[in-house]
Amino acid sequence: MSSTELIGGRSVDLTKATVLVVDDQPVNIQVIYALLCEDYTVLAATSGEEALSVAREARPDLILMDIVMPGLSGMETCQKLKSQDDTSEIPVIFITASYSSEEENECWMSGGIDFISKPINPMTLKNRVKAHLMLKYQKDTLLEMVYLDGLTGVFNRRYLDEHLIKHIHLSKRSKRETCVLLIDIDFFKQFNDRYGHVQGDDALKQVALLVKSKGLKRITDFVVRYGGEEFVVVLPETNISGAKQVAERIRAAIQTLNLEHLDSPFGELTVSIGITGCLSYDVDDSAVLEAADQKLYQAKVSGRNKVCF
């Protein structure tokens, strides 16, 4: 079965999709692996607890979940996945040998999106997996249109507004620091005035690309275009010391672009960065961003092209 489909006249390749198979019987995992491995990346977990860990680390595109397992059942595992912000959007298909309506209702209520009956029909499995991966692709594409900045390709302010508060809540509950970097391109108005907005836009795209490549090392990290020439980087489960290392790496990388800026005392494009941690503040994203902005202001008034925390 081909894992390529046409959507709106465009060919969509699903071979990069990842499917997590959860079953306490390795032989069942092997059967599903043999059916899907030629088309997708297939991961495995033999318990609900392991599935939660793999899902958080790998962020699969789809989960095939056995219902009856020792320890956490499939339904309990699904409920936990749906209760966590970083895994709540992963679709779960239950694999079941039961045909009782009561159990099916429980599966729907726990967050499942479909069923596959045992013994598994290979054609049914392949088509159900492909159909739900296509639905996820379409959903992800729509979300990108809503959440991505059109110029730089990084997330936009709307994404920050909806997701920063989630990380603040998680940080409070886990007692593990989440840090926020507020990045501002130094003397960017003067850069636009001298070199024009076309070069200004190109500079913004180069800065965004470097922030992503040098600042985002984990799947949970993200960068947002916050304003005209400002970017926000959110680093979950990162203390101030770690955030400072990331910020210095970003600052140095942007300076090494060697983009001429004759209206800057440095003679080239640079950035100033303010850092704050979420644990120090109440559960309020505006307070966290204001604190980062105060640190950014310190970086500016003390000479720019530096990091303050």
Assigned token pair, 52: 């939660």
Q: What's the pLDDT tens digit per position in 119-139? A: 899 999 999 999 999 998 888
- Please list, in sequence order, all residues whose beta carbon lies within 8 angstroms of the beta carbon of residue 82, skipping any fewer than 6 positions away: 88, 110, 111
**Which domains does the chain possess?**
4-143 (3.40.50.2300), 157-308 (3.30.70.270)
Q: Which of 35, 55, 31 is closest to 43 using CA atoms?
A: 55
Give me the catalytic one of 229, 237, 248, 260: 229
* DSSP code of residue 221: -
Listed in order, strand segments (DSSP E) in 23-159 are 41-45, 62-66, 92-96, 114-117
| pTM score | 0.66
Q: Is 76 designated active site?
A: no
3-class secondary-structure state, position 189:
helix
Instruction: State whether the Cα torsion 159-160-165-168 is positive or negative.
Output: positive
Determine the pLDDT at residue 285.
76
Percent of the chain's residues with pLDDT above 70: 94
Q: Can you read off the two tokens belonging to residue 186? A: 């130094």
Q: How many CA atoms lie within 13 A of 2 on its CB side?
A: 6
Average pLDDT for residues 142-160, to the nearest whole number? 89
The residue with greater pLDDT, 6 or 55, is 55
Q: What strands lie across the sheet with 114-117, from one edge to the other?
A: 41-45, 18-22, 62-66, 92-96, 114-117
Among the listed ranges 7-11, 165-169, 186-190, which one has the minimum average pLDDT value?
7-11
Minimum mean pLDDT range among 67-76, 105-114, 282-291: 282-291
Reported as a single tens digit per residue, the pLDDT across 73-111 is 999 999 999 988 788 889 999 998 876 788 788 888 989
pLDDT at 281: 59
For the chain, the helix, strand and coil percentages under 3-state DSSP, each to the nearest 5: 50, 20, 30
pLDDT, average across residues 288-299: 92
State residue 43's pLDDT score: 96
pLDDT of residue 80: 93
Report whether pLDDT(6) > 80.
no
Which pLDDT tens digit goes with each residue over 201-221?
999 999 999 999 988 888 789
Contact 223, 155 (CB under 8 A): yes
pLDDT value at residue 9: 43
Q: Which of 72-81, 120-129, 167-176, 250-259 has the lowest mean pLDDT?
A: 167-176
- How many residues in the chain? 309
Q: What is the pLDDT of residue 272?
A: 97
